[in-house]
């Protein structure tokens, strides 16, 4: 670039910064929002400030915000059932008021359609915890992957998983049991990279609500947790543009109004990890870390390509229509070719090739009708699909010496010299396709005097197509007597190739219905919900059908307003609830006729959950919530697989008698949005024990027990999260995410020892080799070390002079403490040479180095 041109660009950039940076001189003003016709204050009205901040009005309809005192700015106000309002704040004055009018003639519509404030999911003690607005942006829009699940994993009751795992355990439940719903549509596999991250980009999401207590009978298909995601809605009056560029991805959102009655929004995302992979590969040449070395095998950098849209349109005050859709793809590839000479001077060749490609999408539409001012009817239709393709190929051609004279002396007649050679090839090709169609009808009817009646029906059709072609190597423990040259030997293990294919095409209908009655007294002293849900599964396979017994799931919640406006206490509430839940395990989609399962033998996973909670709301925007819970899991599905060494075939048995006993408590202290700082600190204790009555568990040398109670692999006793946002000036923010998670279970391991293996080659010949193993036993007392994640984000905000545009520039670094500390698990070792790796296996899904990132976001 020529020097003169470079100087001009720097000068223009400097002028732009000076023109855009907000002045440090500002003043606080009070905004009062009320009903224009009745003059009543609108508690909970949402004020969207000139700088992008959001403020909620108190009981008097008032909120205090900070504005610059050298120019006019514009704020927006929204409240359910009312037309949105805009207010110009002049250069002088400390208090202003704005009146909102009801939309059309539906005076009570805001009481029926939504149970929460606009743009904010509902947080209810004993039921759910929500995150939205600035909290969602600060905690999810960070790092090399911006993901709503990053925020969800910081909430109380959610187990720590690491950076690249979007399948957390919710209050001790199985990670895969978290059910996701977006705008009323169930999404079966809302993940990229096989569960590494979710499809929910924070730039397409308005709010997210995690329900892990006794939530409403409106939703089911889970025994652990429900994630309700609300997509962003296009403005009916404003054209909006948002551009986000980071070191690993580019996002673009465009919103266009539709004649003042709705709008359409389109969103797109493209990732580019090639520079990051290249940098990590260069770093691996100077940093001695076996986990980091694996990045050198990456042949196709991980990628995500996705787009989404949403449409909302109000035909009349009584009829609103919405539609949303998503399509996305992801993939990654690895190629590892290693020809080397071992320390013993013998040649070894190990080749590995791996490719993953995944496509998924869905389309859903909803029609919301008010046949009466006190009634809302919602109809939802949708369809979705996903297809994952996995190909893997490994080749081993090695020559290895036997361990020593003792081994040769013991098994000499079986061996061929002082060394052995092994030439084995394994291949796997899997295509997993899922298609689903679903529809639901929901009716809410305000009966008056605080009562609300709800009724709904849902139908979910799924088709699962699984096509596997596998050429693998299986090693099975046996007690095989062999006689060679008059000497007898007992062979402990047999190694042989196995070829098998799986071609399954199954279908399932899940039919659900619910009814409920809600009550809230006029003074909110007493409230509650009583509901009943029914779920039934009808399964159609090749030449067979099976069904479950209908699962009846009654639920009840009671809420009590104990105190209100007493000293520093704004309110004190308590809740108690209990109920039954049901779900189906994913692997039942592979059931075949040969499994011999009859009608009503297949069962839905069930849980009985009880919760008690108390919430304190204090003056100054502080809130403290404590909840305790007990869950009993029963009829839990699991499978047992086995391989027959003689017929060289594999089989699986599906069982439905698993149990679980879970209890724990969550604490959360939160400081809501304020001028200088906000955030929360949460602590969760989880005690989860499971049992598979017909499964045997190794608990010692040649010792196993059947049906023991055990801690599942994902269970952690303690999870602590600190989220802190520090705002010394309006244009600068420091976001801190700190976590502390106790270890998860690991096996107790013994010494690495040699053992004899009979190898049955593909050409029919037999040889004997030496391999190494390390006995591994289950133990209640063995755990990985603690995980201590620390992430920092520094944000600089720029605003234009008219209050319409905003820009953010950020620098973030994740996993900062990995420079000095890494959670430790058991080490790994080479099963052919017995060499133990120097480093520990990772105790969580993350890289062993800090992950820096930069980003830029511009909205207008």
Query: What pLDDT, in 10s, does the model give residues 195-246?
Result: 989 999 988 888 888 999 999 999 999 999 999 998 888 888 888 899 988 8
Is the predicted pLDDT of residue 330 greater than 80, yes or no? yes
> Would you place residue 368 in the very low, low, confident or very high pLDDT band (cuts 50, 70, 90)?
very high
Q: In the prediction, which pLDDT does 306 show?
A: 95
Minimum mean pLDDT range among 84-93, 334-343, 378-387, 718-727: 84-93
Q: In the prediction, which pLDDT does 581 show?
A: 97
Q: In the prediction, which pLDDT does 615 show?
A: 93
Say if residues 247 and 234 touch (Cβ distance below 8 Å).
no
Percent helix, percent strand, percent coil in the chain, to nearest 5 = 10, 60, 30
Q: 359: part of which helix (H) or strand (E)?
A: strand 347-372
What is the mean predicted confidence (pLDDT) over 372-399?
Answer: 92
What CA–CA distances, in Å, run from 856 to 23, 198, 204, 241, 514? 21, 22, 17, 14, 46
> Would you place residue 336 in the very low, low, confident or very high pLDDT band (cuts 50, 70, 90)?
confident
What is the mean predicted confidence (pLDDT) over 68-77?
Answer: 70
Q: In the prediction, which pLDDT does 3 show?
A: 39
Q: In the prediction, which pLDDT does 18 show?
A: 34
175 vs 135, more confident: 175
> Would you place residue 107 in the very low, low, confident or very high pLDDT band (cuts 50, 70, 90)?
very low
Map residue 499 onto helix, strand or coil.
strand
> Would you place residue 830 in the very low, low, confident or very high pLDDT band (cuts 50, 70, 90)?
confident
Q: In the prediction, which pLDDT does 106 show?
A: 31
Secondary structure (DSSP) of 90-120: -SS-SEEEEEE-BSTT-TTHHHHS-SS-TT-
Task: State both tokens at 214.
Answer: 């006794």
Say if residues 745 and 711 touch (Cβ distance below 8 Å).
yes
Map residue 414 onto helix, strand or coil.
helix
Is the predicted pLDDT of residue 409 greater than 80, yes or no? yes
Task: State both tokens at 327.
Answer: 């399509």
CA 332 – CA 389 distance, rounded (Å): 11
Q: In the prediction, which pLDDT does 717 show?
A: 97
What is the mean predicted confidence (pLDDT) over 400-420?
Answer: 84
Q: In the prediction, which pLDDT does 315 show?
A: 92
CB atoms within 10 A of CB 211: 23
Say if residues 850 and 819 touch (Cβ distance below 8 Å).
yes
Residues 6+ apart with CB under 8 A from 734: 725, 726, 727, 728, 792, 793, 794, 795
Say if residues 277 and 308 touch (Cβ distance below 8 Å).
no
Q: Residue 254, Cα to own-chain centre: how many angstroms? A: 26
User: What tens digit of pLDDT does each residue of 262-272 get?
Assistant: 999 999 999 98
Is the predicted pLDDT of residue 110 greater than 60, yes or no? no
CA 332 – CA 143 distance, rounded (Å): 19
Is the predicted pLDDT of residue 818 greater than 90, yes or no? no
> Would you place residue 344 in the very low, low, confident or very high pLDDT band (cuts 50, 70, 90)?
confident
Is the predicted pLDDT of residue 461 greater than 90, yes or no? yes
Say if residues 547 and 560 touch (Cβ distance below 8 Å).
no
Q: What is the largest CA-CA distance in the chain?
A: 107
CA 249 – CA 252 distance, rounded (Å): 10
> Would you place residue 437 in the very low, low, confident or very high pLDDT band (cuts 50, 70, 90)?
very high
Say if residues 489 and 497 touch (Cβ distance below 8 Å).
no
> Would you place residue 277 in the very low, low, confident or very high pLDDT band (cuts 50, 70, 90)?
confident
Minimum mean pLDDT range among 135-144, 459-468, 706-715, 821-830: 135-144
Minimum mean pLDDT range among 485-489, 507-511, 681-685: 485-489
Q: In the prediction, which pLDDT does 116 show?
A: 34
CA 757 – CA 755 distance, rounded (Å): 7
Q: In the prediction, which pLDDT does 60 show?
A: 79
What is the mean predicted confidence (pLDDT) over 590-598?
Answer: 85
CA 626 – CA 620 distance, rounded (Å): 19
Dihedral angle at the C-alpha atoms of 102, 107, 108, 110, nearest 10 degrees? -10
Q: 14: part of which helix (H) or strand (E)?
A: helix 3-20
> Would you place residue 48 in the very low, low, confident or very high pLDDT band (cuts 50, 70, 90)?
confident
Residues 6+ apart with CB under 8 A from 42: 33, 34, 35, 57, 61, 79, 82, 100
Map residue 689 onto helix, strand or coil.
strand
> Would you place residue 396 in the very low, low, confident or very high pLDDT band (cuts 50, 70, 90)?
confident
> Would you place residue 334 in the very low, low, confident or very high pLDDT band (cuts 50, 70, 90)?
confident
The count of C-alpha atoms lying within 13 angstroms of the C-alpha of 262, restricted to the half-sphere facing its C-beta, is 15
> Would you place residue 292 in the very low, low, confident or very high pLDDT band (cuts 50, 70, 90)?
low
Residues 6+ apart with CB under 8 A from 319: 367, 368, 369, 370
Q: 8: part of which helix (H) or strand (E)?
A: helix 3-20
User: What tens digit of pLDDT does each residue of 539-585 get?
Assistant: 999 889 999 999 999 999 999 999 888 888 888 999 999 999 999 98
What is the chain's mean pLDDT, rounded? 84
What is the mean predicted confidence (pLDDT) over 617-634?
Answer: 92
What is the mean predicted confidence (pLDDT) over 780-804?
Answer: 85
Phi and psi at residue 422, to the nearest 5°: -135, 130
366 vs 96, more confident: 366
Say if residues 184 and 364 touch (Cβ distance below 8 Å).
yes
Say if residues 824 and 837 touch (Cβ distance below 8 Å).
no
Is the predicted pLDDT of residue 364 greater than 70, yes or no? yes
Share of the chain above pLDDT 70, in %: 88
Range with top average pLDDT, 85-94, 132-141, 287-296, 458-467: 458-467
Nearest CA-CA partner of 390 in 447, 333, 472: 333
Look at phi and psi of residue 15 and say left if phi exceeds 0, alpha if psi is from -120 to 50, else beta. alpha
Q: In the prediction, which pLDDT does 479 show?
A: 87
> Would you place residue 108 in the very low, low, confident or very high pLDDT band (cuts 50, 70, 90)?
very low
Is the predicted pLDDT of residue 429 greater than 80, yes or no? yes
Secondary structure (DSSP) of 364-396: EEEEEEEEETTEEEEEEEEEEEEEEEEEEEEEE
Secondary structure (DSSP) of 594-655: GG-PPTTTS--EEEEEEEEEEEEEETTTEEEEEEEEEEEEEEEEEEEEEEETTTTEEEEEEE
Residues 6+ apart with CB under 8 A from 83: 100, 101, 102, 103
Map residue 188 onto helix, strand or coil.
coil
Give the 3-state secondary structure of 268-283. Answer: EEEECCHHHHHHHHHH
Q: In the prediction, which pLDDT does 343 show?
A: 72
Task: Give the β-pairing of 649-671 and 824-829.
Answer: unpaired
854 vs 143, more confident: 854
Angle at 423 between CA 418 and CA 426, to 5 degrees: 145
Minimum mean pLDDT range among 152-161, 497-506, 742-751: 497-506
Q: In the prediction, which pLDDT does 407 show?
A: 85
672 vs 315, more confident: 315
Q: In the prediction, which pLDDT does 454 show?
A: 95
Share of the chain above pLDDT 90, in %: 43
Say if residues 284 and 297 touch (Cβ distance below 8 Å).
no
User: What tens digit of pLDDT does each residue of 798-816 get?
Assistant: 876 565 678 889 999 988 8
Look at phi and psi of residue 428 and say left if phi exceeds 0, alpha if psi is from -120 to 50, else beta. beta
Is the predicted pLDDT of residue 119 greater than 60, yes or no? no
CB atoms within 10 A of CB 706: 10
CA 749 – CA 754 distance, rounded (Å): 15
């Amino acid at each position: 670039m020529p020097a003169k041109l470079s100087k001009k660009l720097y000068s223009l950039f400097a002028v732009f910064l000076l023109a855009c940076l907000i002045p440090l001189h500002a003043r606080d003003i009070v905004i009062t929002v009320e009903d224009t016709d009745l003059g009543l204050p609108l508690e909970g009205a949402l004020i969207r400030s000139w700088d992008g901040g959001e403020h909620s009005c108190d009981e008097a309809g008032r909120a205090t915000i900070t504005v610059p005192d050298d120019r006019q700015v514009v704020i927006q106000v929204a409240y359910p059932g009312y037309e949105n309002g805009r207010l110009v704040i002049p250069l002088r004055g400390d208090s202003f008021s704005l009146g909102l009018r009801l939309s059309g003639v539906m005076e009570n519509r805001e009481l029926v359609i939504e149970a929460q404030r606009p743009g904010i999911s509902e947080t209810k003690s004993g039921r759910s915890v929500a995150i939205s607005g600035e909290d969602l942006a600060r905690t999810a829009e960070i790092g090399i992957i911006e993901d709503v699940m990053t925020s969800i994993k910081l909430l109380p009751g959610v187990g720590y998983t690491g950076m690249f795992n979007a399948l957390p355990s919710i209050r001790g439940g199985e990670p895969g049991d978290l059910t996701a719903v977006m705008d009323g549509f169930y999404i079966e596999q809302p993940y990229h990279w096989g569960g590494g991250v979710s499809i929910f980009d924070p730039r397409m999401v308005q709010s997210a609500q995690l329900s892990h207590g006794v939530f409403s009978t409106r939703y089911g298909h889970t025994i652990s947790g429900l994630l309700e995601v609300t997509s962003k809605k296009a403005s009916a009056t404003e054209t909006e543009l948002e551009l986000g560029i980071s070191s690993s991805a580019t996002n673009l959102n465009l919103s266009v109004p539709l004649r003042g009655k709705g709008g359409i929004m389109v969103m797109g995302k493209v990732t580019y990890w090639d520079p990051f992979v290249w940098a990590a590969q260069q770093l691996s040449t100077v940093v001695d870390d076996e986990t980091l070395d694996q990045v050198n095998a990456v042949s196709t950098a991980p990628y995500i390509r996705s787009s989404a849209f949403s449409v909302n349109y109000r035909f009349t005050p009584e009829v609103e229509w919405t539609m949303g859709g998503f399509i996305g793809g992801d993939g990654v590839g690895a190629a590892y070719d290693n020809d080397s000479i071992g320390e013993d001077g013998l040649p070894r060749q190990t080749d590995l090739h791996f490719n993953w490609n995944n496509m998924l999408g869905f389309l859903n539409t909803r029609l919301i009708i008010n046949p009466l001012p006190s009634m809302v009817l919602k109809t939802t239709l949708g369809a979705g699909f996903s297809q994952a393709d996995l190909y893997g190929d490994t080749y081993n051609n090695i020559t290895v010496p036997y361990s020593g004279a003792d081994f040769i002396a013991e098994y000499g007649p079986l061996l061929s010299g002082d060394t052995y050679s092994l030439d084995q090839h394994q291949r796997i090709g899997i295509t997993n396709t899922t298609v689903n169609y679903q529809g639901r009808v929901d009716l809410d009817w305000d009966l008056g005097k605080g009562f609300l009646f709800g009724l709904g029906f849902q139908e979910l059709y799924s088709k699962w197509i699984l096509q596997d072609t596998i050429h693998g190597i299986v090693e099975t423990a046996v007690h095989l007597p062999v006689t060679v040259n008059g000497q007898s030997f007992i062979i402990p293990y047999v190694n042989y190739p196995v070829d098998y294919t799986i071609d399954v095409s199954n279908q399932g209908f899940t039919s659900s219905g619910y009814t409920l009655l809600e009550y809230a007294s006029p003074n909110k002293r007493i409230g509650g919900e009583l509901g009943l849900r029914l779920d039934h599964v009808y399964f159609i396979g090749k030449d067979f059908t099976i069904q479950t017994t209908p699962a009846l799931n009654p639920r009840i919640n009671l809420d009590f307003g104990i105190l209100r406006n007493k000293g520093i206490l704004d309110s004190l509430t308590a809740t108690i609830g209990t109920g039954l839940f049901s779900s189906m395990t994913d692997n039942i989609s592979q059931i075949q006729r040969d499994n011999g399962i009859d009608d009503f033998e297949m069962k839905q996973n069930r849980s009985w959950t009880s919760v008690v909670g108390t919430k304190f709301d204090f003056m100054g925007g502080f809130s403290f919530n404590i909840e305790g819970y007990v869950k009993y899991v029963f009829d839990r599905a699991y499978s047992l697989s086995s391989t027959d060494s003689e017929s060289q075939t594999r089989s699986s048995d599906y069982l439905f008698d698993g149990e679980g006993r879970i209890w724990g408590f969550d604490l959360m202290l939160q400081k809501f949005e304020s001028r200088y700082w906000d955030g929360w600190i949460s602590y969760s204790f989880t005690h989860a024990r499971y049992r598979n009555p017909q499964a045997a568990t190794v608990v010692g040398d040649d010792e196993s027990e059947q049906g023991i109670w055990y801690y599942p692999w994902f269970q952690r006793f303690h999870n602590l999260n600190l989220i802190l946002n520090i705002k010394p000036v309006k244009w600068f923010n420091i976001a801190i995410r700190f976590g502390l998670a106790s270890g998860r279970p690991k096996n107790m391991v013994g010494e690495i020892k040699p053992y004899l293996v009979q190898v049955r080659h593909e050409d029919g010949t037999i040889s004997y080799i030496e391999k190494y193993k390390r006995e591994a036993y289950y133990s209640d007392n063995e755990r990985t070390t603690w995980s201590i994640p620390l992430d920092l984000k520094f944000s600089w905000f720029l605003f234009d002079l008219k209050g319409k545009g905003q820009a953010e520039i950020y620098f973030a670094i994740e996993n900062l403490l990995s420079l000095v500390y890494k959670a430790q698990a058991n080490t790994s070792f080479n099963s052919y040479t017995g060499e133990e790796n120097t480093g520990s296996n990772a105790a969580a899904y993350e890289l062993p180095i800090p992950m820096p990132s930069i980003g830029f976001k511009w909205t207008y």
